[in-house]
């Protein structure tokens, strides 16, 4: 959203910076917005004053500044909790519940019912593999959220690129048939 559009949406835009008194119309580096509950508000300080206030705060509170910097630059790949089998299992359980609204047991039962094959091209797929082409993806309808079945790494994006439109896929089939006849 452009600055001019935001300015027309929220009312109190010509209020000066609380520290230096610079007006929003004359400030080139103004901190434009804070979004609260879907409404845009102009921040109370220009960027220059925000940087100065932040530097002063860091000088007065070095422990907090150090902790914030540590969180920002921390190498999370070296965290002992990351990558453990327990953490991976918890993450998998959470992601399946969040994405599809089913338990891991229901997810694995659906995979077993598929016979470990892609629902479209019938190649063998697995739930976890270092080889991405063998990985199973649970397909779902984006409009209803209904789970449809497991697909391979090639068939899942094919449906996505066609936007689940049967007409587009039928046209693709016709196109392939026409091009095949031209070759013969």
Q: Which of 73, 104, 121 is the last residue of a domain?
A: 73
In this structure, the answer to whether residues 120 and 62 fall within a common structural domain is no
137 is written with which tokens? 């993806």
Tell which wins on pLDDT, 43 or 34.
Answer: 43
Q: Distance between CA atoms of 82 and 141, rounded to whole angstroms?
A: 32
In a domain, 44, yes or no: yes
Domain-embedded: residue 131: yes
Distance separating alpha carbons of residues 112 and 182, to the nearest angstrom: 41
Rounded to whole angstroms, the Cα distance separating 149 from 171 reads: 23
Residues, the chain: 184
Q: Looking at the domain assignment, is residue 91 inside a domain?
A: no
Res. 97: pLDDT tops 80? yes
Domain assignment of residue 98, yes or no: no
What Rg value do the Cα atoms of the chain yield, rounded? 27
Phi then psi dihedrals of residue 122, to 5 deg = 65, 20
Q: Is residue 141 part of a domain?
A: yes
Mean pLDDT of 103-108: 93
Mean pLDDT, residues 52-64 = 89
The model carries a pTM of: 0.54
**pLDDT higher than threshold 50 for residue 64:** yes
**Are residues 59 and 10 part of one domain?**
yes
Confidence of residue 8 (pLDDT cuts 50, 70, 90): very low
- How far is C-alpha 27 from the geometric centre of its chain's CA atoms? 34
69 and 119 housed in the same domain: no
Split into its structural domains, the chain has a count of 2
Q: Per the domain annotation, does 89 fall within a domain?
A: no
59 part of a folded domain: yes
Would you say residue 106 lies in a domain? no
Strand 33-36 to 39-42 pairing: antiparallel
- Return the SS3 of 149: strand
* Boundary of a domain, candidates 11, 43, 73: 73
Residues 18 and 69 in one domain: yes
Query: What is the residue range of 137's domain?
Result: 112-183
Q: Who has greater pLDDT, 3 or 111?
A: 111
- Band the pLDDT of 33: cuts 50, 70, 90: low
Give the angle subtended at the CA of 90 by the CAs of 67 and 78, to the nearest 5°.
40
76 has pLDDT over 90: no
Q: Where does a domain end: 45, 73, 101? A: 73
Give the CATH number for residue 157: 3.40.1800.10
């Amino acid at each position: 959203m452009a600055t001019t559009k935001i300015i027309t949406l929220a009312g109190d835009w010509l209020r000066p910076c609380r520290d230096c008194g610079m007006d929003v119309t004359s400030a080139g580096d103004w901190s434009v917005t804070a979004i609260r509950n879907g409404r845009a508000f102009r921040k109370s300080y220009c960027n220059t004053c925000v940087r100065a206030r932040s530097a002063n705060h860091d000088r007065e509170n070095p422990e907090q500044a150090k902790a914030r910097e540590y969180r920002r630059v921390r190498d999370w790949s070296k965290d002992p909790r990351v990558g453990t089998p327990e953490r991976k299992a918890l993450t998998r359980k959470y992601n399946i519940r969040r994405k599809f609204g089913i338990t891991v047991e229901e997810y694995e039962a659906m995979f077993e019912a598929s016979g470990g094959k892609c629902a479209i091209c019938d190649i063998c797929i697995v739930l976890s593999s270092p080889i991405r082409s063998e990985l199973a993806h649970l397909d779902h309808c984006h409009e209803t959220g209904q789970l449809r079945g497991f697909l391979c790494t090639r068939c899942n994006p094919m449906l996505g690129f066609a936007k689940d439109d049967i007409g587009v896929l039928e046209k693709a089939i016709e196109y392939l048939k026409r091009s095949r006849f031209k070759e013969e």
